[in-house]
Amino acid sequence: MAEFDKSLNEEQLDAVNANGSVLLVACPGSGKTRTLIEKIARELSRVKSHREYVVALTYTHVAADEIRERIGARGISVDQLWVGTIHSFCLEWIIRPYSIYHESLRNGFRVLDTFDQEELLDNIAKQHGLRNRYDCDHFATSTGYALDSKIDTRLRPRVRAVIDQYHDELSAMRAIDFEMMLKYSFDLIRDHAPVARRLSQMFRIIAVDEYQDTREIQYQILSLIFKAPGSNTRLFMVGDPNQAIFTSLGGLAMPHQELMALTNLDIHQMSLRQNYRSSRQIVEYFTLFGVEKAEIVASGNAHDWQGCLTYDRNLHRDNLIEHIASLVRHSIEKLGIPASQICIVAPWWIHLSSVTRALVERMPDLEFNGPGLTPFGENRDNFWYKVSRIALTEASPSHFFTRLRWAKEIVDALVHYHFVTSSLEPRDFLRLTNSISVEETTGMAFLRAFFNKVLNELKIELRDDDELKQQMDSFFERMNSRITRIRSSEGVDVDDLHTFQRVFRPRAGVVVSTVHGIKGAEFDTVIAFALYEGAIPHFSELGNIAAAKRSLFVIGSRARRNLHLISERGRTNYRGVEHLPTQILAKTQYRYTDSVI
């Protein structure tokens, strides 16, 4: 019998015990995920039918995996839990079951692999005189497709032409991408009332994590489920408006009253104000950058810790690597902080690539988990990425339940594509894969051999027009492209089996990430650099004080004990003009710690 969490504080317990719908505004380090998981656990304990589900929507696959594992580790059955991203939700619950009702889907469709999508958009962008796909960022809305707010006004007509041609070519291929997945799901649930009514009868509650990153069309899709006739589905939304850093891509922390009006729900707004992560010093500092008013109280074991909080705006770019390396060494050797509890962060990946390479060369005794140092891209929805997790993870008791869950995803996909029958159990698939032996020592060759042996064991022969064959080709093309780029630009060969296997192991070394990439994470020491105007905020949002503040709020709130901020000199724009420090940061009055090195 599973036990409920008895260590929740009063605010957390009130939110968990609330009977109706809840909008929970949770400050950083407030136990948001713990509260969300406890709510899900209690709702699962009240499910009475195999036709009733608890749904949890997360912003990333990583967050979804964490929720599954933490629920399962408590001995609670997850048979009636569905957890995943909004795109996965739309594909599984709306598009696949009801595609026959949409004229663009009824004759069949395939989900375009991320690599194919990027390659196609790159090619079309160049045809229209643009650099690449990054000039064409767009997202679905309930009325069409909107362009990233960062796109230059002068380029917008050309970008629109690119998007139109891109969608025409996808239509000819009978393929859809992730944005079309949202748009078609909205069309289906809006135009066919039985879809929303059926879902509302199945879902006991829909929990939404990081609600501030939810987009307008996603709110609309969910609202139609809540508003369906006879719906008893409740909403449990958790997040922090001060961490809304995806606004340029449509992220929206919908205000309480607007959310109630949209969903027709009576929603209780509640809050979590106790920060159990950071010292009082860190909390008081990052609170300076809050856009939305929020009371945040340092309440954890480290609340009285006097750490290092520095800001360097005189350091020259030529000395950046030496300075960061010294800060890392100080944290490890003087403060006793494990390497895995140190994070180096910058606004963009472009800032991090060369820095990561230089740090690897300077400190070969340390491991760095940084951009460009993994052979896998953002390919998590590719079928063969899922098989790779099984292939590259040790078949040990500690990994059994995680690997069993991965095996279920694979078997479900094989059943969907009619390659196996539902009689194939996930445990059978695991036994099959555990028995496979491959002698190859390079990563790509190992996976090719492993995949072929899986297909042979299951007596599956892929044709060129099979979606799984197309996904396999895309998987290896993307991987080969990435490995080649890393070898060329970073001088590192990552096509070895050890590097591939390390991808799915727990984090071990110093983390190197963007501001967007560290949301939800926490570290004893955070080192942030490239904090200049044009990076925070982005150069297309110059003057956007709120955008700059939110990024600085996220950076500061990741740190438990030590925070080092750097606006290095010597970075110039394309005209050779030196970038100035982020003005919001430069103007902030604070008594920083003296340099520690």
10-residue block means of pLDDT along the chain (597 residues)?
74 95 97 96 93 94 87 86 95 95 93 85 94 89 89 90 96 94 97 96 97 96 97 97 89 96 98 96 97 93 90 96 97 96 92 85 88 68 92 89 90 91 92 95 96 96 89 90 79 84 81 90 96 84 87 97 96 86 94 82
Residue 411, both tokens = 């078997």
- Judge whether 175 and 111 are in contact, CB under 8 Å: yes
d(CA 345, CA 326): 16
CB within 8 Å of 345: residues ≥ 6 apart:
512, 513, 514, 515, 517, 518, 526, 527, 528, 529, 555, 558
Is residue 464 assigned to a domain? yes
The encoded tokens of residue 105 equal: 């889907």
pLDDT recorded at residue 1: 42
Q: Is 159 in a helix, a strand, or coil?
A: helix
Q: Are strands 368-369 and 309-312 parallel, antiparallel or unpaired?
A: unpaired
Task: Please give the angle made by the CA atoms of 510, 551 and 211, to the nearest 5 degrees.
Answer: 100
The residues near 272 (Cβ < 8 Å, ≥ 6 apart) are 11, 12, 15, 24, 25, 26, 27, 30, 31, 32, 35
* Per-residue exposure over 560-595, b if at least 16 CB sit within 10 Å of its own CB, e if not: bbbbbbbbbbebeeeeeeebebbbbbeebeeeeeee
Pair (394, 482) in one structural domain? yes
Q: Return d(Cα 242, Cα 210) in angstroms, integer.
A: 11
22, with CB counted inside 10 A (0-12, 13-18, 19+), is buried
Query: Looking at the domain assignment, is residue 102 inside a domain?
Result: no
Do the domain assignments include residue 465? yes
3-state class (DSSP) for residue 547:
helix
CA dihedral for 396, 401, 407, 411, sign (positive or negative)? positive
Which three-class secondary structure state does DSSP give residue 81?
A: strand
Same domain, 514 and 498: no
**Measured between alpha carbons, how far is 126 from 128 in angstroms, rounded to an integer?**
5
Q: How long, in residues, is the chain?
A: 597
- Residue 575: phi, psi to the nearest 5? -95, 0
Q: How many domains does the chain have?
A: 4
Residue 596 lies inside a defined structural domain of this protein: no
CA torsion sign for 312, 315, 317, 319 is negative
CA distance to 348, 469, 474, 587, per residue, from 459 (Å) = 45, 15, 22, 66
DSSP secondary structure string, 224-247?
HHHTSTT---EEEEEE-GGG---G
Cα separation, 23 vs 541, whole angstroms: 29
Q: Do both 61 and 34 map to the same domain?
A: yes
421 and 537, same domain (yes or no): no
Q: Do residue 248 and residue 300 come from a single domain?
A: no
The last residue of one of the domains, among 252, 272, 292, is: 272
- Note down the domain range covering 164: 110-173
Identity of the amino acid at 454: V
Q: Examine the domain organization and report whether 481 and 521 are in the same domain.
A: no
Q: Does some domain include residue 525?
A: yes
3-state helix/strand/coil string of 367-405 = CEECCCCCCCCCCCCCHHHHHHHHHHCCCCHHHHHHHHH
- For residues 478 and 403, membership in a common domain is answered with yes
The rounded distance, in Å, linking the Cα atoms of 94 and 338 is 45
Domain ends where: 272, 290, 306? 272
Query: Is residue 47 domain-shared with residue 92, that is, in the same domain?
Result: yes
- Max CA pair span of the chain: 68
Question: Under a CB-based contact definition with an 8 Å cutoff, are residues 492 and 360 in contact?
Answer: yes
Structure tokens at 173: 């291929």
Threshold 0.85, pTM exceeds: yes
Q: Where are the extended beta strands (E) located within 163-286? A: 175-176, 203-208, 234-239, 267-272, 274-275
Structure tokens at 93: 């619950």
Q: Which residue has the tokens 């103007």?
A: 587
Last residue of a domain, one of 205, 239, 272: 272
Residues 266 and 287 in one domain: no
pLDDT of residue 554: 97
Question: Which string of DSSP letters, residue by residue, matches 316-358?
Answer: BGGGHHHHHHHHHHIIIIIT---GGGEEEEESSHHHHHHHHHH
Q: No. of H helices and E strands in the chain?
A: 22, 18
Say if 89 falls within a structural domain: yes
How many angstroms separate the CA atoms of 156 and 148, rounded? 10
Residue 399, in any domain of the structure: yes
CATH of the domain at 220: 3.40.50.300
Nearest to 383 by CA among 114, 84, 183, 167: 114
How many beta carbons lie within 10 A of that of residue 16, not counting itself?
Answer: 23
Q: Measure the CA–CA gap between 132 and 177, rounded to whole angstroms.
A: 17
CB 212 within 8 A of CB 239: yes
DSSP letter at 528? Answer: E
pLDDT at 488: 78
Residue 46 placed within a domain:
yes
Phi/psi at 326 (nearest 5 deg)?
Answer: -65, -40
Same domain for 204 and 59? yes
Residues 300, 268, single domain; the answer is no
One domain for residues 70 and 199: yes
